């Protein structure tokens, strides 16, 4: 019986396909972001000789990577992208401040269960949070998909990460994802898809934490079945008890400790308690992995009525305008500001080291994002530790890497 990837890719290939098959598939949605759009537009028109995208309704363009523009150069390129969107008649342009492509496409209902979605961004595995087959590709592949509405793929084998039990106090989806990276390593799922099982209790955006980190294990897609959620789409992929899996990795949520990925590799993961005292200059809460409303709410719960440790900066960059609005309307934002945090424009922020909080040599950052590669957020001499929003907030309170369970007042961290 088929895996979720086989179910979805059979649909878009128009015939039953199995892992290992090389297929040409119809693409349901193509996402292009500001950073690579100018290059993609050039390949589309100049190299492929295509005048128009195949279906403007099925293209979404998001200005999120350097938003708002950080230089005259980036401003000019964004201007060029906006013009192009207009001449192509693409209705879905999400401009500065709307947020990061991945949560935005989900919030807008464009990303749906059972779709094949390609993005010009490697974290396009994110769309697995609604049960879509989302995959990142380079500029040439994206340009080809824009020209033809098709792509070619090798149907991946599937690795299952099966969660058992429920999260303990102070532990959440990020710890599960980092634990999986620790077990599978950075290349453990290369050419494969990951199916996350046993995570029905998570919200869609919490599922995005798992789906975005799937690429950090090399995966082509990271899918969670949307069965039970109120989502409609061309196909609702379901977990098939008899599907053929390459490997199954079991993780007991009840036993899970807060996990931290130490510099400079995402799979360099340890239990927080094994890392000793690590002093931190900046706490950065944001990105498509952990900049969601749920993540700000967890941090606010820990920071409520308290102040950041002296000398620590805390930068919060909401993943989307909707997340920011929700945090503003229920007091979450006020709590974060009262604690001494500051807020950036919804978008990618400093995740790729281009603006809004880049790091100086020697600085140590506790980051809720998905990559801690050397130089990712600025100076190659900076150190980036990846952890959950709960660890981020606890660390902001003390100034060094801190287990959230030691500073919380007993309420469970996982949101509803």
Partner 1 sequence: MARVWLFGPDINTDQIVPGRYAPYMLKDESELRRYPFIEHRPDFAPNVRPGDIIVAGKNFGCGSSREYAPLALRMVGVGAIIAPLFARIFFRNALNLGIPCFTADLTSELADGDEVELDLEQGRITTSDGRVIHLPPPPLFLREVWAAGGIVPFYRQYGRFPGEVA
The contact pattern for ligand SF4, residues 88-117, with x = CB under 6 A and - = no contact, is: ------------x-----------------
Q: Cβ of residue 275: shortest distance to partner 1, in angstroms?
A: 21
Q: Cβ of residue 181: shortest distance to partner 1, in angstroms?
A: 12
The residue whose two tokens read 């192509």 is: 88
Report yes or no: 176 and 194 within 8 Å, Cβ to Cβ: no
Q: What is the 3-state secondary structure (H, E, C) of 70-98?
A: CCHHHHHHHHHHHHHHHHHCCCEEECCCC
Report yes or no: 279 and 399 within 8 Å, Cβ to Cβ: yes
Buried/exposed code over 218-251 (b: 16+ C-beta within 10 A; e: otherwise): bbbbbbbbbeebebebebbbebbeebebeeebeb
Hey, which residues between 257 and 286 contact ligand SF4 (CB under 6 A)? none
174 is an interface residue for ligand SF4 by CB under 6 A: no
39 binds, among ligand SF4, partner 1, none (CB under 5 to 8 A by kind): partner 1
Q: Cβ of residue 370: shortest distance to ligand SF4, in angstroms?
A: 5
- Look up residue 145 and give its DSSP letter: H
> Could you tell me how many residues of this chain bind ligand SF4 (CB under 6 A)?
11
Nearest Cα residue to 255 out of 197, 169, 161: 169
Query: In this complex, which beta carbon is closest to ligand SF4, that of residue 121 or of residue 195?
Result: 121
Report yes or no: 287 and 123 within 8 Å, Cβ to Cβ: no
The residue whose two tokens read 């149907």 is: 155
For 341-366, the DSSP string reads: -EE--SS-GGGGSSSSSPBPTT-EEE
The residue whose two tokens read 């400093």 is: 350
287 binds, among ligand SF4, partner 1, none (CB under 5 to 8 A by kind): ligand SF4
Query: In this complex, which beta carbon is closest to ligand SF4, that of residue 303 or of residue 386?
Result: 386
User: Whole-angstrom Cα distance, residue 288 to residue 323?
Assistant: 11
74 binds, among ligand SF4, partner 1, none (CB under 5 to 8 A by kind): partner 1
Q: Cβ of residue 140: shortest distance to partner 1, in angstroms?
A: 4
**Torsion sign over Cα 223, 225, 231, 236:** positive
183 is an interface residue for ligand SF4 by CB under 6 A: no
Q: Cβ of residue 186: shortest distance to partner 1, in angstroms?
A: 6
Give all strands of the β-sheet with 221-223 in edge-to-edge order.
221-223, 193-197, 158-164, 247-252
Residues contributing to the site for partner 1 (CB under 8 A): 22-24, 34-36, 38-39, 43, 47-49, 65-66, 71, 73-74, 77, 119-122, 124, 136-141, 144, 148, 150-152, 154, 186-187, 190-191, 218, 220, 265, 352-354, 371, 373-376, 378, 380
Query: In this complex, which beta carbon is closest to partner 1, that of residue 40 or of residue 312?
Result: 40
Q: Rounded to whole angstroms, what are the CA distances from 314 to 56, 89, 280? A: 40, 40, 10
288 binds, among ligand SF4, partner 1, none (CB under 5 to 8 A by kind): ligand SF4
Pair of tokens at residue 146 = 């824009």
The contact pattern for ligand SF4, residues 284-303, with x = CB under 6 A and - = no contact, is: ---xx---------------
Q: Cβ of residue 270: shortest distance to partner 1, in angstroms?
A: 17
121 is an interface residue for ligand SF4 by CB under 6 A: yes
Query: In this complex, which beta carbon is closest to ligand SF4, that of residue 10 or of residue 370?
Result: 370
Stretch that binds ligand SF4, among 44-52, 135-143, 148-156, 348-356 (CB under 6 A): 348-356
Q: Cβ of residue 43: shortest distance to ligand SF4, in angstroms?
A: 21
User: Whole-angstrom Cα distance, residue 190 to residue 219?
Assistant: 5
352 is an interface residue for ligand SF4 by CB under 6 A: yes
Q: Cβ of residue 84: shortest distance to partner 1, in angstroms?
A: 15
Report yes or no: 357 and 344 within 8 Å, Cβ to Cβ: yes
330 binds, among partner 1, ligand SF4, none (CB under 5 to 8 A by kind): none
Hey, which residues between 363 and 392 contact ligand SF4 (CB under 6 A)? 369-370
Q: What is the 3-state secondary structure (H, E, C) of 152-209?
A: EEECCCEEEEEEECCCCCCCCHHHHHHHHHHHHCCCCCCCCEEEEECCCCCCHHHHHH
**Footprint of ligand SF4 on this chain (CB under 6 A)?**
65, 100, 121, 123, 287-288, 348, 351-352, 369-370
């Amino acid at each position: 019986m088929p895996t979720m990837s086989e179910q979805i890719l059979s649909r878009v290939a128009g015939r039953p396909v199995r892992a290992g098959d090389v297929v040409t598939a119809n693409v349901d949605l193509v996402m292009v972001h500001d950073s690579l759009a100018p290059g993609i537009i050039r390949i589309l028109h100049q190299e492929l000789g295509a005048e128009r995208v195949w279906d403007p309704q099925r293209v979404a363009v998001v200005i999120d990577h350097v938003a708002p523009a950080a230089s005259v150069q980036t401003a000019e390129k964004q201007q060029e992208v906006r013009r192009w969107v207009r001449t192509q008649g693409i209705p879905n342009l999400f401009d500065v401040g709307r947020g990061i492509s991945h949560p935005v496409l989900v919030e807008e209902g464009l990303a749906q269960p059972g779709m094949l979605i390609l993005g010009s961004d490697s974290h396009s595995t994110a769309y697995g949070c609604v049960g879509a087959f989302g995959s990142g590709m380079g500029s040439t592949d994206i340009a080809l998909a824009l020209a033809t509405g098709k792509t070619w793929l090798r149907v991946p084998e599937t690795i299952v990460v099966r969660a058992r039990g429920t999260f303990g106090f102070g532990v959440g989806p990020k710890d599960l994802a980092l634990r999986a990276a620790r077990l599978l390593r950075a290349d453990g799922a290369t050419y494969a898809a990951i199916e996350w099982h046993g995570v029905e209790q998570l919200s869609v955006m919490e599922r995005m934490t798992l789906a975005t980190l799937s690429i950090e294990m090399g995966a082509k897609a990271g899918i969670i079945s949307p069965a039970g959620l109120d989502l409609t789409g061309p196909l609702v992929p379901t977990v098939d008890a008899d599907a053929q899996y390459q490997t199954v990795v079991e993780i007991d949520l009840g036993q899970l400790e807060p996990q931290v990925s130490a510099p400079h590799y995402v799979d360099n993961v340890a239990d927080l308690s094994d890392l000793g005292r690590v002093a931190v200059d900046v706490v950065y809460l944001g990105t498509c992995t952990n900049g969601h409303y749920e993540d700000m709410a967890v941090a606010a719960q820990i920071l409520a009525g308290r102040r950041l440790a002296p000398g620590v900066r805390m930068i919060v960059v909401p993943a989307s305008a909707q997340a920011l609005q929700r945090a503003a309307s229920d007091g979450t934002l006020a709590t974060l500001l009262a604690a001494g945090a500051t807020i950036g424009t919804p978008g990618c922020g400093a995740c790729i080291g281009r603006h809004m909080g880049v790091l100086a040599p020697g600085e140590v950052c506790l980051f809720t994002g998905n990559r801690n590669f050397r130089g990712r957020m600025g100076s190659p001499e900076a150190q980036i530790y990846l952890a959950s929003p709960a660890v981020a907030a606890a660390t902001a309170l003390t100034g060094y890497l801190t287990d959230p369970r030691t500073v919380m007042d007993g309420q469970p961290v996982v949101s509803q």
